[in-house]
Amino acid sequence: MEGLSSLYVSIVVVAVAALVYAKYAASKISAYELGNERVKELSSIIQSGAMAFLYREYKALSGFVVVVAAVLAFYRGMPTAACFVGGALCSALTGYAGMKVATKANGKTSFAATKGMNEALGIAFKGGSVVGMTVVGVGLMGVFIAYMAFGNVASGDVETIAAFGFGASSIALFARVGGGIYTKAADVGADLVGKIEAGIPEDDPRNPAVIADNVGDNVGDIAGMGADLFESYVNAILAAMAVGFVAYKGQSLELQELQMKSVVYPMLLSAVGIISALLGTFFVKVKEGGDPQKALSRGLYTTGILMAAGTFFLTKWMFGGVEMFWAVVAGVACGVIIGQITEIYTSADYASVKEIAGASVTGTATNILAGISVGMKSTVAPVLFICAATLIGYWAGGTYGAERSISYWGGGMYGVACAAVGMLSITGMVLSVDAYGPISDNAGGIAEMAGLPEEVRGITDRLDAVGNTTAAVGKGLAIGSAALTALALFVSYASTTGLDKIDIMDAKVIVGLFIGGVLPFIFSALSIQAVSRAAERMIEEVRRQFREIPGIMDGTARPQYEKCVDISTAAAMKEMVLPGMMAVIVPLVVGKILGAAALGGLLGGSIVTGVMMAIFMSNAGGAWDNAKKYIESGQHGGKGSAPHAAAVNGDTVGDPFKDTAGPSLNILIKLMTVVSLVMAPWFPLK
| 634-646 residues labelled b (16+ CB within 10 A) or e (exposed) | ebbeeeebebbbb
Which of 652, 593, 254, 291 is CA-nearest to residue 469? 291
Interacting residues of 653 by C-beta distance below 8 A, sequence separation 6+: 368, 371, 624
Choose between 436 and 493: whose C-beta lies nearer to its own copies: 493
Reduced to 3 states (helix: H, G, I; strand: E, B; else coil), residue 451 is coil
State which residue, 584 or 661, has the beta carbon closest to its own copies: 661
- Closest CB to its own copies among residues 230, 248: 248
By beta-carbon proximity to its own copies, the closer residue of 200 and 370 is 370
Supply the DSSP string of 372-391, one letter for each residue: HHHHHHTTHHHHHHHHHHHH
Of 113, 143, 123, nearest in space to 459 by CA: 113
What sign does the CA torsion over 51, 88, 478, 298 have? positive
Q: How far is the CB of 394 from its own copies (least distance, A)?
A: 4
Backbone angles phi and psi of 555, in degrees to 5: 80, 10
With respect to its own copies, which residue has the nearer C-beta, 501 or 639? 501
Q: What is the spatial distance between Cα 443 and Cα 107, in angstroms, rounded to a whole number?
A: 6
Residues 6+ apart with CB under 8 A from 131: 94, 97, 98, 101, 102, 222, 226, 431, 432, 435
Query: From the CB of 611, what's the least distance to its own copies, in Å?
Result: 7
Helix or strand or coil: residue 338? helix
Closest alpha carbon to 541 in 275, 188, 152: 188
**Smallest separation (angstroms) from its own copies to the CB of 508:** 8
Q: Which is nearer to its own copies, 141 or 413 (CB)?
A: 413
Alpha-helical segments (H) within 153-252:
158-189, 210-217, 225-247
CA distance 299 to 284: 5
Q: What is the largest CA-CA distance in the chain?
A: 82
d(CA 46, CA 106): 9
Q: How far is the CB of 247 from its own copies (least distance, A)?
A: 12
Q: How far is the CB of 386 from its own copies (least distance, A)?
A: 6
- The CA-CA-CA angle for residues 17, 91, 259, to 5°, reads 65
Nearer to its own copies, 141 or 359 (CB): 359
Q: How far is the CB of 328 from its own copies (least distance, A)?
A: 17
Q: Which is nearer to its own copies, 353 or 494 (CB)?
A: 494
Q: Nearest distance from residue 609's CB to its own copies, in Å?
A: 5
Least Cβ distance, residue 174 to its own copies (angstroms): 21
Q: How far is the CB of 682 from its own copies (least distance, A)?
A: 20
State which residue, 283 or 409, has the beta carbon closest to its own copies. Answer: 409
